[in-house]
Homo-oligomer: A and B are copies of this chain.
């Protein structure tokens, strides 16, 4: 245990009333000076006196009070995602933050675990953000959006398959991912396609539309689609590989590259030839998938850039009365590699 001198927490927190008293001015004057309201004329001598008093006391204005008085905050609130985020999203999110920063916004991610959508909207509204961008966390309802707008939020942007009344919509249609994968496997002559559906909670919002996309891709072709539950561990993959011969599949779209790497290894360990007996396809185009032998075919997701989303935020904040817009956030395309090559029999692995 180290011995570090520390500031006592018992000293009372200085308020604007303390600053007013020390500077010999009214609380309103303190507020005008420190919150930068330009509408009121205050002499330079008074401004200096107030700032010196604030410094002496260590007074810090409230962000929310300041935003109320100056008419707008520069806080962009993002509900934090309770689902672990992958490297693709991580990169997008950093870029988004930097771009907002260049517009002089501050990003706050709000943890809303265990809150209903409307409770969450109320909690967010209490922080008086100027924009709410729902990339994760509880799905906003029309009522929640109205509540946010009433609290002064100028831009509400939601992400999801369907727009919500009162908000601008970012569409991120994961059916596209399944459509690409299904079309690619069909084109490679595969007819009995397994689709991995991860058992891990929170992934249904991605896995269900991906499955639906594969079904849509094969519709009318005579090919069949078989959902396959899989947990992200070696035991579950080994158990699925054990059942493989009985399933009679000649291809599998494995949800993403990580599940594909897990399942491909288990299939290879059972002596199943990839892609000869079964084609394997992932999604995300991770570097690690390119390191496998056979190299993993995948679906590449192109997300809108963080810069584009930041520009949308800035535009809507400046013109909050415009018609709700809808933007596509994601494009998908198949990247064929060795693991889905037609008529190829790889040499057996040791």
A residues neighboring B (CB under 8 Å): 1-11, 13-15, 58, 60-66, 68, 80, 82, 84-85, 87, 90-91, 94, 97-98, 100-101, 106-111, 113-114, 122-123, 125-128, 145-147, 149-152, 154, 163, 165-167, 169, 232-234, 258, 261-262, 265, 287-288, 290-291, 293, 320-321, 323-326, 347, 349-350
Contact = CB atoms under 8 A, between A and B. Distances in A.
A54 to B, nearest CB: 11
25 contacts: A3-B323, A4-B169, A6-B145, A6-B149, A6-B166, A6-B167, A7-B145, A9-B154, A9-B321, A10-B321, A58-B151, A60-B125, A60-B126, A60-B150, A62-B65, A66-B126, A84-B90, A84-B91, A97-B113, A233-B287, A234-B287, A234-B291, A261-B288, A262-B288, A262-B291
Given A94-B82, A107-B80, A287-B233, A14 B150 contact: yes
Given A3-B323, A323-B1, A62 B60 contact: no
A163 B326 contact: no
A178 to B, nearest CB: 23
Specify how many copies of this chain sit in the oligomer. Answer: 2
B9 A149 contact: yes
A106 B123 contact: yes
A291 B320 contact: no
A256 to B, nearest CB: 12
A324 to B, nearest CB: 4
B94 A150 contact: no
A37 to B, nearest CB: 15
